Amino acid sequence: MADSSRTESATPRKRQKVRREGRVARSRELPQALVFLSVIVFLHFTGKSVLDKCMHVLAEFLQMPSRPHLDAATITTVFHLAADSAISIVGPILLVAITFSLAGSFGGGGLLFAPEAMRLKFDRLSPAMGLQKLLPKSSVVELVKNLIYLSVVCYIAWKASVRFLPSLPGLALVSPYHAFNSLTDVIYTISIRVGILFGVIAIGDFLYQRYLFEESMKMTKQEVKDDYREIEGDPKIKGRIRRAQREMMRRRMMAEVPKADVVITNPTHFAVAVAYRPKSMAAPTVVAKGQDYMAARIREVATEHEVPIVENPPLAQALYKSTEIGKPIPAGLYKAIAELLAYLIKFRGLVLKEAQEVMSHGY
């Protein structure tokens, strides 16, 4: 019985793993049914030409001497005749059989290359494992299925044969060629009915095997969680990675504060550093921003590097909420920032002029 706790469908990762091991839902009957039906139909439409080729080959052999001289030339001639005959008669039939066998295998489980299935595993050499394979749990199901199949095939063959039994004595009065054609019609009728039955059974068996495979692939809820955790990564490890990434972003952001033209504050809750370089920036850009602790750190770094700090709570809050780091300020804030930068430029100009006057008086 199936484990009642295995209620979840298999994850894509488990399906890939199982497929690499060579385990897929396959039905042995499906390729066999396709091969059987395809060969029967092929022979039905090409039977006359096949019969003509067989008659021609038979005539060739009958024309040979009853006691041929066995030299190299004779042996070569016989070998070539036999090989050519086999290729021309059996070759097309084999080609059809191989083609539909591959089509059935491909349709039943897809193209499969499983290197792991070819590895040597010593547990396969265990007598106990071999005994389990000889007596599988599904052997009863297979036995019942085969008995039913055999019984139905025999019934179909008997019903089809009964219809032709009255005409069988008359075959002795016709030529072997016509008798052979009549027998092939009977054989084709029986074979096509058996083939259709075989196909129906094969489709049913494929659906049944697929159902069993899906049931065997089911997982518990915990297994699904563990599988996705392995795919996406351990949450603890992901958390550490995110913290490291945030720390790296903070360091890069703080390295931009000394290059800013102004730091606009709330004054204590928010701090936004803005820089404007006309040659490389289309508009003033937020190079750093922070709240509470980070705002205090931005003010400290700005003070250390003599970056002007301006208290403007509405502008600081608007910039913090509307603009990401590295992005230009919104067009609606251009005027306020432009006035602020113009004031700072004018203020810096006055300070520079006063410094020059002090230096000139000193000299």
| Average pLDDT of span 188-203 | 85
User: What digits encode the pLDDT tens for the residues 306-320?
Assistant: 888 888 888 888 888
Sign of torsion over alpha carbons 230, 234, 239, 240: negative
The values of phi and psi at residue 212, to 5°, are -60, -40
Same domain, 100 and 216: yes
CATH number at residue 306: 3.40.1690.10
User: What digits encode the pLDDT tens for the residues 298-355?
Assistant: 999 989 988 888 888 888 888 888 888 888 888 888 788 777 777 666 655 544 444 3
- Cα 254 to Cα 276: distance, rounded to the nearest angstrom: 17
Same domain, 219 and 263: no
Domain that residue 341 falls in: 256-362
| Average pLDDT of span 40-57 | 79
Residue 350 lies in a domain: yes
Q: Which helix (H) or strand (E) holds 143?
A: helix 139-164
- Cα 231 to Cα 246: distance, rounded to the nearest angstrom: 23
Residue 5 lies in a domain: no
Rounded percentage of the chain residues whose pLDDT exceeds 70: 79
Q: Is 197 exposed, middle or buried (0-12, 13-18, 19+ CB in 10 A)?
A: middle
> Which of the two residues, 286 and 49, has the higher pLDDT score?
286
Q: Are 265 and 311 in contact (CB under 8 A)?
A: yes
Same domain, 174 and 280: no
Same domain, 206 and 346: no
- Contacts within 8 Å (CB) and 24+ apart, 331-339: 334/283, 334/284, 336/312, 337/274, 337/276, 337/284, 338/284
pLDDT at 123 over 60: no
Q: Greatest CA span in the chain, whole angstroms? A: 144
Residue 90 lies in a domain: yes
Q: Are 342 and 262 in contact (CB under 8 A)?
A: no
Least confident of 107-111, 151-155, 268-272: 107-111
Residue 63 lies in a domain: yes
pTM of the model: 0.50
Q: Which helix (H) or strand (E) holds 249?
A: helix 235-256
Q: Are 341 and 278 in contact (CB under 8 A)?
A: no
Query: What phi-psi label fits residue 326: left (phi over 0), alpha (psi between -120 and 50 degrees) or beta?
Result: left
- Cα 43 to Cα 55: distance, rounded to the nearest angstrom: 16
